[in-house]
Structure 1
């Protein structure tokens, strides 16, 4: 048996992608139960609004990146538009990522990494709203690809500022 076999195995045109979640944590959390602060009670039909922002940055260690998903969730009464609660959450993950082509790294960080963390983020939101005296809020899945494309489109529409 020869070392190369048929010769095809000796060639590796592309190294295999490696992605490892090294850590995940709540970076910031704020929950305000405005409904109970005002002393309002009774059945209230909530209107929940969720805003999502993403951020990613290179860490000082080779191949390590921090990705942060920032949620702003507000719940208002459908009838009176009074705010019921406000939830702000920054959930971060530290990733070791290897063998992603440079031109694909940015979308990878802002699509695939948040997708990996989303189940944990969803659980925190559910627990915090339940512990805050409301029915648990079970977030719908977030389409991170659509979110990324929308951000690229928004940036493309912004006027370029003249540095002079």
Structure 2
């Protein structure tokens, strides 16, 4: 059984319930300020960051997105749904080992792939901007990886 204590004591994705895909069309952000959602322009009314179309189509971007968290400190794969082109990772804080969930999904678009990127804390009310900083850094990392391919 997963409890907050087991989630904090575990490593990687341990101690967390099984991952389930995020339905970005129905996603409603919580009242707490410990989340950040990036989405294609006009794709979600609560998005805090607008992501212009990627310079490639979704099929080309998918393998790059799948590997995005690999090698990042304290980031572990959590779930994958290739048919949706959606990935999830657990990102653990350095000091307290708090687990945050990062979900990303590629959607087809006329000018290139659209990207949803959502980072959320599982515990607490405020994250002091950690999830927004994470989303911004992951967007930059994806952009750099796509340019290298």
In the superposition, the TM-score normalised over structure 1's length comes to 0.29
Bigger CA radius of gyration: 1
Point out the structure with the larger strand share. 1
Which protein has greater RCO, CA pairs closer than 8 Å, 6+ apart?
A: 2
